[in-house]
Chain A
């Protein structure tokens, strides 16, 4: 299965402190319905040519609900009209801040088969929210209003929690906040990615990220029946203890031919960050078929990276199988070159060796 990340709009109604979308120069574009129509035409063509393939559309932004319910009704019509025999091989997911989610979207999500939404939340005041002053309270009230609608219609949700410099003062407080709010967990801890000096105070180093996770992990491990869905812990347990390989793109070493990001203007790239950084340009959807985009020669450098790392910087690392040198863009951000291991290497290795293995008593053997 390939994932198509559709950046429907660069607009966002929030001004989250750690986000790059609202700080970019060319913000404000929304994908035209013509491009979306073309995307479905191309999708149909691709799925007819590849009868064993499926595609996952991830609706992303900016804030993907901003274009409104009517916009998504067109999307549903496009799928019906242009993918009559292949629509059952398209799945949809969405990453939204939920603050403009209304009951109108419920039938749309149902039609798209979206049973759970991805979102984000942050207990820290003035971290997420609209306006210059980052009005957290108004943001949170809208968020909570949306949760009531989700609950009413039995739509699930999960959240990404971005670990920033502000999170470091009380990791367990953050953990309890999030798992009280969403009782089974449904939380994914990701380190903030900050590339400018102005917001340096928000950034965390790999060592700090490990210590953040390490402060939570023993409590989670002891009580994982209470909060089963906490990442990256749950995946590490599955991969290391149960031997079930299920890896996120950044760990899989196999994102190369499986990801497409489409900008509002139809430009394609590997994923959001590569598009923002004008890297890995796979051409415009107006000019290329999906199969061409997925096989674009620019991608080969990512595939080669695997070999280079395995024989070079990651040679002999016992975590190779579950890390593969991490995300190539994390290597690029530091070295301006993909052919290095991720600058978050220690976040993986250090956490497993310092916390995961001693606490669980399970040693990862490749």
Chain B
């Protein structure tokens, strides 16, 4: 198995303990990119990606050409003023950047569509509580089946890339939340298998020195089989057509915000259709991939 990526906040204190690793760093300011770069060089750390979560709209960020050496994910509430954003297009186009929008913001579907059609890589972070499943269905259909040129939108294109009809497809990696590829590291140097575990009081945490043998850890093995828990009873997720690509990610919010079943059923059909359609077309140009 390929080595795991670590996911952690940029914290100079922890860097010496993660020498020679590939790491996804959370940054609270992109101005820290330069410090991170020199720290990473000093500790032989490979920066897999930098995540910058901001309350600013994309159009309020000042993009710098020097960022082009970093794979960047920006999580922002909205596109903002399109005209301001487009003024910086010549810089942004040269960056290795992907824009993430949360479904907590009702205009995210529209903003993603605009950006993707303008040639920017985008991703939608689906929050089961806030997502508008119908809007998401439209966006997914646009992403996978629309013939008009646009850039890939995650997690939809991620699923089409890894999907096998007779397998489960987990798109958690789009959000760096898939323990088969990403392991989370706390500021105290403890490992967690998911963000949820890291943030929960009773989350399973392991010592950092376990990282190289993490696949042998009982907790890790159990985590990879946690999907089986759905099948102890006829849960709505176990009986759901789209389970093999959803894996029950929205089980906790089905009651308050139903619609996931219809969405994932459509998604599964669209993936099959998309793959059939893509068989004879050329590959898209790729930037960094989760």
Contact = CB atoms under 8 A, between A and B. Distances in A.
B145 interface: no
A223 B269 CA distance: 9
Contacts of A147: 228
Interface string B227-242: 0111111100011110
B216 interface: no
Contacts of A136: 233
- Chain A at the B interface: mostly helix, strand, loop or mixed? helix
| Chain B, interface SS category | loop
Nearest to B231: A181
Interface residues of B, number: 20
Interface in A164-215: 170, 172-174, 176-177, 180-181, 183-184
B79 to A, nearest CB: 37
A184 B166 contact: yes
Nearest to A227: B166
A123 B234 CA distance: 5
A177 B168 contact: no
A237 B243 CA distance: 26
B167 to A, nearest CB: 6
A181 B221 CA distance: 18
Nearest to A179: B244
A147 B224 CA distance: 13
Contacts of B225: 144, 148
Contacts of A225: 165-166
B166 A226 contact: yes
A228 B168 CA distance: 15
A81 to B, nearest CB: 39
Contact of B234 (A148, A177, A228): A177
B247 to A, nearest CB: 9
Interface string B207-233: 000000000000001000100111111
A280 B264 CA distance: 52
Contacts of A227: 166
Nearest to A137: B232
A141 interface: yes
Nearest to A122: B234
A140 B231 contact: yes
Contacts of B167: 183
A124 interface: yes
Interface string A108-128: 000000000000000111000
Interface in A110-164: 123-125, 136-137, 140-141, 144, 147-148
Interface of A: 123-125, 136-137, 140-141, 144, 147-148, 170, 172-174, 176-177, 180-181, 183-184, 223, 225-228
Interface of B: 165-168, 221, 225, 228-234, 238-241, 243-244, 272
3 tightest Cβ-Cβ pairs between the two chains A and B: A123-B234, A173-B239, A226-B165
Given A123-B234, A125-B233, A227-B166, 16 more contacts: A123-B231, A136-B233, A137-B233, A140-B232, A144-B225, A147-B228, A148-B221, A148-B228, A177-B234, A177-B239, A183-B167, A183-B244, A184-B166, A223-B165, A226-B244, A228-B166
